[in-house]
């Protein structure tokens, strides 16, 4: 597929959104859920990061799921994240909908981000709603307080992550509202198999898909790049800069 032709579509489209999944963050050293490396080889993230385990088996959650979340803390954005930020700065990207909880779009400087699976910057009390930085959770766990308790009401404090079994956050509805009427979606590093976000591409008449593996939407995409996302996005941005 031609980078120049895909870039022309971006230039000509009235409204462009990006949808990012785990594949954009692998260059930052974060394995996706389907990887057989790291923590994901030791236990199933679908169980470890479930609402049921969080609420009813907190010792297991803080032995397994919490480790996955804590491991994201020191990761840094890669060229793909910075390329999307630059696209936004250049006026060619209206927003980023991300399935990732790694905060890397936020760290890269993107502004209009919809974190539909939550984030790992903050936590909240399930009883009174008080908010705390993620470091609060870390300090409580390090002190052996499992589950961590709220200093204000004694309720349980949990991460701002959408666990398996949780309802979708307001960011999901806000993303649907803001993306309505936009012409082009750039999918980056997502298999497009997770509901309900896999319905998102249906809203757009045009698609560019950048993913190492095939997706269910490849057949109707204008352009498909089965390549490294950092490489493709960097090339697109360089092309966009050419006046």
Dihedral angle computed from the Cα positions of residues 128, 134, 136 and 138, in that order, rounded to the nearest 10 degrees: 130
Say if strands 113-115 and 95-98 run parallel, antiparallel, or are unpaired. Answer: parallel
81 is catalytic: no
* Active-site hit among 81, 105, 117, 206: 117
The per-residue DSSP string of the chain comes to --HHHHHHHHHH-SSEEEEE-GGGTGGGT---TT-SSGGGGTS-HHHHTBHHHHHH-HHHHTTTHHHHHHHTTT----HHHHHHHHHHHHT---EEEE---S-HHHHHT--SEEETTEEEEEEEETTT--EEEHHHHHHHHHTT-SS-B-TTT-PBEEEEE--BTSPP-HHHHHHHHHHTT--EEEEES--S-STTGGGGGGG-SEEEEE-SS--TTGGG-SEEE-S-HHHHHHHHHHHHT--
Quick one: tokens of 69?
A: 């979340």
Active site residues: 117
């Amino acid at each position: 597929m031609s980078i120049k032709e895909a870039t022309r579509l971006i230039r000509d489209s009235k409204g462009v959104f990006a949808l990012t999944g785990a594949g954009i963050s692998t260059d930052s050293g974060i394995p996706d859920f389907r990887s057989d490396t790291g923590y994901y080889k030791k236990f199933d993230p679908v169980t470890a990061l479930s609402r049921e385990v969080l609420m009813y088996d907190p010792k297991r959650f803080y032995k397994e799921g919490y480790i996955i979340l804590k491991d994201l803390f020191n990761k840094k954005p890669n060229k793909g994240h910075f390329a999307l930020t630059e696209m936004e700065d250049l006026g060619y990207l209206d927003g980023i909908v991300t399935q990732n909880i790694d905060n890397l779009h936020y760290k890269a400087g993107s502004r209009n981000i919809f974190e539909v699976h939550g984030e790992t910057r903050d936590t909240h009390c399930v009883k009174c709603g008080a908010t705390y930085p993620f470091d609060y959770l870390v300090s409580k766990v390090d002190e052996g307080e499992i589950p961590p308790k709220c200093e204000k009401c004694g309720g349980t404090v949990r991460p701002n992550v959408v666990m398996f079994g949780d309802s979708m956050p307001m960011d999901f509805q806000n993303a649907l509202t803001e993306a309505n009427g936009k012409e082009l979606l750039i999918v980056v590093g997502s298999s497009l198999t997770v509901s309900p976000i896999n319905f998102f591409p249906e809203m757009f008449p045009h698609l560019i898909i950048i993913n190492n593996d095939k997706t269910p939407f490849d057949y109707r995409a204008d352009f498909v790049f089965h390549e490294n996302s950092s490489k493709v996005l960097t090339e697109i941005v360089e092309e966009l800069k050419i006046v």
